[in-house]
Structure 1
């Protein structure tokens, strides 16, 4: 069974922006950075790719370089010459996460969401289908937020993994929460950090908390 490594990193701004920009990025990544005028968004992009490289080196090959990164439209980047590396990037508030697995044909999506006070029923009416909305609404006020975030992260992870059939339609997404499947994992971490991984096959999941250095 493929193992998905999820790496979490909290950005406390110990890595300077100038030093990040000076790293040997691929031409594709530099072009992507040039399209972003918002400095915090640039920083998120660079840190996500640096974290991705760190984990890909442990999972696949220590020879991988930032210059090997290929940028893709509406998908996480990939590494040239490594079609069997599946990966996904997510960020929320000060947190970054990447999911990496070395398995041929694996579709993989990761989503992180740090919970905060929100009008979850209003959001659920906008984002959920009838069955999932009813599941959120049937909970008490304290549980509605948890149910919403569990659904939201699973839906986002499925979308990122190209598993569009899981975003709407049968079975309802909340069934993956109430009856966990080996291809869809999720939960709640400290700091009110919800996470979900969605794949096209059964996977095991392991977490790591690496330190990033330039």
Structure 2
């Protein structure tokens, strides 16, 4: 999947370290780009939201490594490569989800093993992000009434039961349900339920306060 080859960003205020790491990473077949500070990296990242991971120094002027990791907020896998580690910083980095915490001078085998894990994670996160974006785009195709019907359907209720809850007729619910399935590109109730779960959609709570039978027959 060449379109999903991750970029390895290297952020360190030591130009010599950046050059050495970029050469090493490229020599093993990865795409690598180096930066001397966090802000330059963030500008570049904003222009290229593709799959990526970052190899990051801990102590840098301006925004340090921990602050940058917090700024990323889990968007990218982070590998710390630093010569200034201490226990509190290590704990903070790992608790915030760092893939690895390596000490300079880092052993090449250890770095490459860590990089492989981070790149696999980067591709997985990117694919998940693309999937969620696609699911949200499909969800936007639904009308408010179709979303309301979907909220009841994913509870497992039959069409006639949903019709009763929404104060309409079974034929109307059947038509809405078919439209929901078509617009969301799902072929079964199980797929619809999985999609709702992935999107974090509540079931009946997503619908407006239901009408009861006899409250009106309009759709």
Task: State the TM-score, normalized to the length of structure 2.
Answer: 0.22
Pick the structure with greater CA Rg: 2
Which of the pair is proportionally richer in helix?
A: 2
Which of the pair is proportionally richer in strand?
A: 1
Task: State the TM-score, normalized to the length of structure 1.
Answer: 0.22
For CA contacts below 8 A with separation 6 or more, give which structure has more relative contact order: 1
